[in-house]
Chain A
Amino acid sequence: MEPIIEFKDYSFRYRSQTEPTVQDINLRIMPGEKVLIAGPSGSGKSTLAHTINALIPCSFPGETAGTLRVCGKDPQQEGVFGMSKLVGTVLQDTDGQFIGLTVAEDLAFALENDAVPQEQLKKRVDEIAGIVNLKDLLHHAPGELSGGQKQRVSMGGVLADDVKILLFDEPLANLDPATGKKTIALIDRILKEEDLTVVIIEHRLEDVLYRDVDRIVVIGEGRIVCDLPPDELLSTDILKEQGIREPLYVSALGYAGVTLRPEDHPQHIESMELAPYAESVRKWFTAAPAKAVPVSDAPALEVRDLNFSYTPGEPVLRGVSFRLNRGEMVALVGRNGAGKSTLASLICGFVKPDSGEILLGGKDISPLSIKERGEHVGLVMQSPNQMISKPMISEEVGLGLTVRGVPAAEVEERVGRALKICGLYPFRNWPVSALSFGQKKRVTIASILVMDPEILILDEPTAGQDYRHYTEIMEFLRRINRETGITILMITHDMHLMLEYTDRALVVADGTLLADKTPSAVLTDEALTEAADLKKTSLYDLAVRCGIEPPSEFVDRFIAYEREHMRRAEQEGGAQ
């Protein structure tokens, strides 16, 4: 059989760069295969994907060397339009690629551009809607759809073209965990039914492996590091070396001293061979120290029986009560549209509650304006671009003080302090545009910290970040939490984040607070994760299959162990 995608000694260099972004690529993908391309940000994995749909070099010019054949054709010669008949690309941003005004129109978009007569168009749209389960939503506008539904529209939109290859560029980045799981299942089903080849670019390995993949290609610094079936890859140390997150159960097995073998089939925790290892895992569990839970009972923020609706009669939040203690790190989780952002808006005063109280340090804050609340509760938005408005770093960080009429000398002093906390002091006179995404994120955090708020609310602090940047941002937040005692509330989809970095999780579903307990208790509770569209951690399955009770304790010890591990590694790194 001929490969459907074949790279031979392929290299590509962007026009603006001196070094090739990908080089010496030799890769063959056979028809019907499902291949995962993994690698940290900047490894060249997106570049590689864009050579397949011809965006590279047609839209992003540069120099290529070697050969690439997709369905026997050269993408560079076919161009983006030519390749769009063969390769369907599903982008990460589900809003950005929703082009039509309704689901039906978006599904029809590619066919319209091909001038397919209207009658055929409608027939084909119906067929596609059937494949991606959108029949009942054909006339809905994008604003009425959930993230998962929008992604199904994106998938349908490229399937309409009868493509041979489906290319997914980080399909899980914007989805809540349960929706991500459904997406992976849908990709798997379409692959089997529609006779396609699937290439997925993603660094969230564990989530993709929810369904079998044939091979995982790991990219590091522009080269292929390895190209192995998942069972073999998981039995090596390559992922760790490349800064890609291993599945949690694989890490746990590693801590227990287990050396995995491909014949154990570690691809799925549910079905892998565990019998020879259960004993070592149990031993590790008994030996591992329990997680020390920091206790503080000075309330920083209290929410009492909060009710809210945008339109009367359609409550968005119902009877929500909770409290944040001083110095805690708390996760606010739940599916898209469950009411998480609304809750943050209520705390910041962007909208007014129908009834209920919000207390800050014991005082009701309902008479405070948005600006006044801003001095106590700082909000950091998801993308730094949503906040940054000044060209220079120190100006941007000082903006909140300048507009409050704080004297220039004090502004300078406080900006300096905030920049030092955020590790940006050496860059204080740089333009913002010279910073990386993660550094910009820190600028926005510094611009909030400069006002000395008691509480920091972060909306999806790590969205779209790979493991290394994720760790960098989260370690930074943990550090300022420890050093300044600031209380941190994070709105997140990321189960790892919640497990590893927070003391408590508030679970919201359909406008009510479903649970308020430790992350390990949330993620080992099957009924709760189901109800809130979360995903139970694979550590739970591991604990259950090894006969460890209670599983949440296992999870706690795992996290504590990992923290200790990381701290030691840091110290050793620092000592050298």
Chain B
Amino acid sequence: MIKEMFRKPTKWSVMKHLILKDIEDLIIGSLGIVAFISFFVGGVITIQTALNISNPLIPKYLVGFATRQSIILEFAPTFTSIIMAGKVGSFITSSIGTMRVTEQIDALEVMGINSLNYLIFPKTMALMLYPFAIAVGMFLGILGGMAACVFGGYTTLDDYILGLQTDFDSFHMIYAFIKTFIFAFVLATIPSFHGYYMKGGALEVGKASTTSFVWTAVVIILLNYILTDMLLG
């Protein structure tokens, strides 16, 4: 499917509009949910960490440190991607699956259009901007932690900021964005595969969306393990 996606490309003037539309649908349309979840999960991580540090010998700035590490290394790239598998993945599977059921994909093929290139390539290109959404999630997660600290009184703002700066390793950011790029590709291709090759009617579109979510989540979790072992192990 991936090889076929790059064969016989659609006219650039048409493709440009498709990519921009998919950026709007898949990336910009997801920023709200990513921002909301990241901000509050960042806050929760901070509260949980602060409440579990009962030993007075452990410095309070560790709250900021733990929040930063949790959000940059795992929450933003991996768990946001699983949430996106539900939102973006289901959208991709159901929209392509509906086109299959209503013969719109056959109509493209009869016209001599490479339907894989026309439908899946723009989504894959649009999702290459997915790391931007994850960067927003990282920023808002850390901001959410800061808000919880300040307004909840779990630690001081200075301690939190000191924790954010402690032992910062820039490779952790590179690691997070390598994962994000790979997850973006998974988010574009697995749901597209399930939508494009589905058979049946409206009921099967729903089933294909569910199956696509499960497989996307499973592949993301497995790749997360493999990539972490390869890059940090």
Q: Do A and B come from one complex?
A: no
Interface residues of B (CB under 8 A from A): none
